[in-house]
Structure 1
């Protein structure tokens, strides 16, 4: 346990030291570290001069004993420049083998600048290294020590460039812009990052320990439910995420929870998905808002639920019932078959629907009738619309009521847990934490409004439900 907490403290210290130098890069810093720890690749997409290369290079310094490889790709880059030159000694023996020392196959962390300039001559070997951590060197298949590759690009690949597989290998994606806040920009101008070295490091042994712990970590059921719901929503938005990415995403959540010292993957890890689900930058904000909403109360949309309540109220006011269900009977009605007594129309009709063969009588009339004739004998006149419409309305109301109760139960149960989990989560930015907590408060207010509307609806139709 102490070892796990030490790793968590190291990761938190690394993040803090980077945030003091790299302004407005909180998400990128956390994602870069998590990418390394989980063994996934990270894409920085943005214009030149946004510190993409320097961030990746200095992140490597946080890994104890890590070797770094950097190369700027062009369309004319050859395999020799990435994987190493051919061995002349091997050629003398009719063997095709490369001298890989100092090249990508021997690196722990690599930055490939202008990654989408990779041509077909290097693409297949690159994909194998990225996905399988294998390199085919002549007759030998070598295991590479690669922890993570950082890809940097000014633009996305064109659809007709056959780079979809390469793009899909980068699980974490960040669209980086120039510094926006004037205070941050001023600190950047007047500060110095030359020779920056993180104050704390993480060893490969630490990384392996986290990954081993992550394999056994359970995932909370509501996290899996949320992932399935998000997958359906993305489909409806015509955003199709490969099965491989979903599998890797779940692995990342488990690694993140393990590194955070959690006993399971809880819902506060879901905001990490915002950096792994978008395909083009225009989708980012919409996906982000939905994911942050899912992190609160399972993602029940209070705006939509409030709309359903309002629509139901309008419909209920326009429906005429066969009898006023909440109206009190002028006399007590008794069931001849089971001796049950009834004081309202709804009690009597509900009983008769469950027991259609039963007969009823009143204190003033001992003759027995069915429920409808009993009401007539009491001088109660039905409306023209059949009672079945009322039953349909009640079923619809019960569905809304069940959804509202789920929302209330979820909000009540996570009052303290949500704040504690968020504040202890080293992978979630302060911006996301504040927005999630704000969304939580908004849902609490929405719930009060919904409950007030539903109470008025029940009062207006004098609804009584007896199970």
Structure 2
């Protein structure tokens, strides 16, 4: 089954450009017995796609009709039988009409009037048609509904809308090279050579019925339902039941022994009510799919906590304010260039003064050639003391001693914690790399995940490598603090913020 579906997808992708998601959904709807809504303007190959999907079924029958407000049941379900009327029986000649086909395309589906709607709902859901006294079993696999617009607020139409599990917003072809292939090739001549037997479709449904659902998939679905309700998006219980059935069929067709996390990607085409909800729901689903596996968040927080604790031990309040005279002059010059009517020294001093040793050290490490003034007196901004001179001045004037290294006990305590974090980082690095390789293999062999979704999932997952890189840099800074006798021998980036 998997190889057959791959062959069908390859054939369809050659002729239907920029329709990979719709092809996937159509085939999966066919296998699982669900219905597909194609929402978009005319001329986007909706009819052709549905017709060709029907041709993949051995001996499949196709029915296509454009509904209007004035369409009658005879046009959809078949004309009344005159012979039956002679016997005082109500019956229709249904051959060739909706009750006898495998796939149907109903254009302008939401134009269906009440005389058609009730029978249509029964066919879509129960696969039954009441033909007079006789209840017929309908061989229908899928109905493709096409519409230029969403249904109006009407309970009957909302019930019809809910029957379409797969929903796609179809647009015109976007890329020039694909448009050229469309308008210069005879795609109408396309006839799929790979076929699906009705018996095979029924067998895959039977095989999928009791396929187990992984615990993480159950958790994701429950979380999605909760978040969608909070966003005022309500999914009926029937739809959730059908969604899980589709995931089982997709997994069985893929040769899997259970429903795994990657299959959840398909939900992006089954949960939205309005087209503007699509991207939000898609992002939410991809985030949940990627969120499994190694969680680097706890390790990153532990490293930041250690870094903050170390810098907290070194942080001291300065006995007097220290101001950078170089930055003061640069800001004053910039203000003059900008033609400020008045330059306020207080504003400059407030933004360029330091009240803690770490703020002062951080600025010094970034600008080692700057000079400083000490105290609130604006005249001090004309002084030009270097860093060492400021340290010496504060020592003589206030008996203030800079704490330039950790105490012996503090150092030993933090070294032990640092070693533990480095071991965890090495383990996490190996785990993330192994998970990424496994993820690539999983995406490659999953026939239902589109190339675009695969790229985005991998991109999101690789953000964990960014976390690993950031954690390694933080640990490098911590190691430098622990190894160096003086703090300002190391390169700090945002010491003040870390503390």
Q: TM-score band, normalised by the shorter chain?
A: 0.7 to 0.9
Instruction: Determine whether 1:430 maps to 2:446.
Output: no
Paired residues of 2:37 and 2:164 also in contact (CA < 8 A): yes
Assess, with a 3 A threshold, how the Cα gap between structure 1 residues 310 and 123 changes in structure 2: closer, same or farther: farther
CA distance in 2, matches of 1:148, 1:136: 19
2:194 is aligned, of 186, 195, 200, to 200
Paired residues of 2:294 and 2:432 also in contact (CA < 8 A): no
2:238 is aligned, of 214, 222, 244, to 244
Instruction: Determine whether 1:77 maps to 2:71.
Output: yes
Report the CA distance between 1:290 and its aligned residue: 1.6
Aligned to 1:181: 175
CA distance in 1, matches of 2:479, 2:117: 65
Report the CA distance between 1:453 and its aligned residue: 5.8
CA distance in 2, matches of 1:236, 1:408: 36
CA distance in 2, matches of 1:130, 1:98: 19
Assess, with a 3 A threshold, how the Cα gap between structure 1 residues 407 and 73 changes in structure 2: closer, same or farther: farther
CA distance in 1, matches of 2:308, 2:471: 15
CA distance in 2, matches of 1:25, 1:233: 29
TM-score (norm 2): 0.68
- Residues 93-112 of structure 1 aligned to structure 2 (within 5 Å): 93-112=87-106
Q: Which runs of 4+ in 1 moved over 6 A?
A: 299-319, 406-410, 454-460
Structure 1 counterpart SS, 2:187: coil
CA distance in 2, matches of 1:304, 1:285: 29
Unaligned residue ranges in structure 2 (runs of 5+): 314-424, 482-499
Alpha-carbon RMSD across the aligned residues, in angstroms, is: 3.2
Structure 2 counterpart SS, 1:414: helix
Aligned to 1:137: 131
Aligned to 2:7: 13
Paired residues of 1:297 and 1:407 also in contact (CA < 8 A): no
1:289 is aligned, of 275, 283, 297, to 283
CA distance in 1, matches of 2:168, 2:105: 15
Assess, with a 3 A threshold, how the Cα gap between structure 1 residues 168 and 442 changes in structure 2: closer, same or farther: same
CA distance in 1, matches of 2:226, 2:134: 43
1:265 is aligned, of 244, 247, 259, to 259
CA distance in 1, matches of 2:8, 2:45: 18
Assess, with a 3 A threshold, how the Cα gap between structure 1 residues 314 and 16 changes in structure 2: closer, same or farther: same
Structure 1 counterpart SS, 2:189: coil
Report the CA distance between 1:92 and its aligned residue: 1.7
Report the CA distance between 1:414 and its aligned residue: 2.9
TM-score (norm 1): 0.73
Instruction: Determine whether 1:67 maps to 2:88.
Output: no
Assess, with a 3 A threshold, how the Cα gap between structure 1 residues 148 and 300 changes in structure 2: closer, same or farther: farther
CA distance in 2, matches of 1:38, 1:69: 19
Paired residues of 1:172 and 1:275 also in contact (CA < 8 A): yes
Structure 1 counterpart SS, 2:117: helix
* More off after superposition, 171-180 vs 188-197: 188-197
How many equivalent pairs are there?
Answer: 372
CA distance in 2, matches of 1:309, 1:141: 69
Aligned to 1:377: none
Paired residues of 1:297 and 1:411 also in contact (CA < 8 A): no
Larger Cα Rg: Structure 1 or Structure 2?
2
Report the CA distance between 1:307 and its aligned residue: 9.4
Report the CA distance between 1:243 and its aligned residue: 0.9
Aligned to 1:419: 440
Report the CA distance between 1:32 and its aligned residue: 0.4
Report the CA distance between 1:407 and its aligned residue: 9.3
